[in-house]
Structure 1
Amino acid sequence: MTTDLRLAEITPANFETALAIKVRADQEHLVEPVVQSLAEASMWPGVAWPRLILDGDQPVGFLMAFLDIDWLGDGSRSDIRSGLWRLNIDAGAQAKGYGRFAVEQVAEEIRRRGGKVMTVTYHPGADGPQGFYLRLGFKETGEFSDGETVAELVL
């Protein structure tokens, strides 16, 4: 990993590049493909925050955050949360610190917007990313969302 890491907004110029990000075959059941994330982002303008992860000019991953959502979805806005919605690190770029960088960048954006807690959800199980998130300081809340474990990081 170099120190030239950055996030890029998804644009018509890099859309195909973002779609080319693929996790390892054994991870495909753990995270939706980038194309689905971008389709969902189009339905949640102002909430979804999709970004390409670049090392220099080399695309190495994709992330999508959610910002200030009504977690309960009941219109009460009594539980507003922000966090990491998707993280896809390209198969050939894994275990190089790009995932950590992505989490740090989402945390920074949430802090910039006044947030104090970052939420993430992930598939439970030995083959999932639980260890990764726990090593970064996330704590499981005991909640589940759409069958996924919910964890939070105090910012």
Structure 2
Amino acid sequence: MSELRLEELSAATIVAVNAMSLKPGQEQYLAPTSYAVAGAVVNPNTAWQRVVLDGTEVVGFVSANFDPDAPHEHFQSVLWRINVDADDQGRGVGRFAVENLLDEARTRGLDRVDVIYEAGEEGPEAFFRRVGFIPVDETEYGEVVAEIRL
């Protein structure tokens, strides 16, 4: 693996992000990428969207929102989406993206990052636990709310 790096989502990388593949069963836990990209249009001052590159190849995407004034505390510093191309899962790409997200949150003076996800056998829970998220709550829809304290 080359050295991984982050870059802002751009017109040059969005097509590759949209073309990333998932492992069988993962699609039920992930809304289309266009939903995440729309978040940057709706919240341009608070959205944080990055692609993970391995050399020149897009291998991952991470979308977060930092809004200390959000009315719900779990939305003040939240990881909205992370996906890694199926062929690149298990190589540390996701961990790299989360570590950079946590660094960004620290830079902004925040004390935690939350994530909200649906539990399930092929879902993201095992990954989120491996990188340090701890379940702390549940949404009204039964989704898990987990956090990493900084």
Which residue is equivalent to 1:133?
A: 128
Q: Which runs of 5+ in 1 are unaligned?
A: 73-77
Inter-partner Cα distance in structure 2 for 1:60 and 1:110: 22
Change in 2 beyond 3 A, CA 1:22/1:71: farther
Instruction: Report the equivalent of 2:80.
Output: 85
1: CA distance between counterparts of 2:143 and 2:93?
A: 23
The 1-side partners of 2:125 and 2:66 are apart by 22
Q: Is the 8 A contact 1:82 1:110 kept in 2?
A: yes
**Higher mean Cα deviation, 42-51 or 94-103?**
42-51
Per the TM alignment, residue 148 of structure 1 is displaced from its structure 2 partner at its CA by: 2.0
Alignment of 1:103-118 (within 5 A): 103-118=98-113
What's 1:29 paired with? 28
**How do 1:70-81 residues align onto structure 2 when only pairs under 5 Å count?**
70-72=70-72, 81=76
Query: Partner of 2:20: helix, strand, or coil?
Result: coil
Instruction: State whether structure 2 residue 146 is matched by structure 1 residue 151.
Output: yes
d(CA) in 2 for partners of 1:15, 1:97: 21
1:67 deviates by 0.8
| CA–CA separation in structure 2 for the residues paired with 1:26 and 1:88 | 14
Do structure 1's residue 94 and structure 2's residue 94 form an aligned pair?
A: no
> What is the CA–CA distance in structure 2 between the aligned matches of 1:60 and 1:31, rounded to whole Å?
16
Amino acid at match of 1:38: V
Partner residue in 2 for 1:11: 10
Distance in 2 (alpha carbons) for counterparts of 1:10 and 1:79 = 24
State the secondary structure of the residue aligned to 1:29. helix
The aligned amino acid for 2:42 is M
Q: Percent identity?
A: 40
Counterpart in the other structure of 1:39: 38
What does the per-residue CA deviation read over 1:103-154, in whole Å, with 9 as the maximum and x for residues that have no partner? 1010010001101111111111222111221122211112326542100101
Q: Which runs of 5+ in 2 are unaligned?
A: none
- Report the TM-score, using the length of structure 2 for normalisation: 0.89
TM-score, normalised on structure 1?
Answer: 0.86
| Count of residue pairs the alignment pairs up | 149
Deviation at 1:13, TM superposition (A): 2.2
Contact 2:74–2:114, Cα closer than 8 Å, also in 1: no
Q: How big is the shift at 1:24?
A: 2.2
- Hey, what does 1:75 align to over in structure 2? none
- Counterpart-to-counterpart distance in 2, 1:55 and 1:39: 25
CA contact (8 A) 2:63 2:79 kept: yes
